[in-house]
Amino acid sequence: MTSLLLIDDSENSLATTHHPETIRKFSHETTLVIKRKSHLEPTVVRPLAEIPYHGDLIHALIRDEILGSE
């Protein structure tokens, strides 16, 4: 179970989305990757900027480089 939490630069809006163009509009520093292995496991929150990936962010999401990372 994984989500991207997108926060705008003024920290006034929160959004979750799977829409590629919406994801690209938010800064890597304000995008949080929220995941947990199951409802029994604790939630892990990491800034997208701390997760290494290759090439385009959307393609990295498709290849599971972001959400599949530990």
Residue pointed to by tokens 């290849």: 63
Q: Among candidates 13, 29, 21, which has minimal Cα distance to 61? A: 21
Confidence label for 1 from pLDDT (cuts 50, 70 and 90): very low
- Global pTM reads 0.70
State pLDDT tens for residues 10-60: 666 667 777 888 888 888 888 888 888 888 989 888 899 999 999 999 899
pLDDT at 70 over 60: no
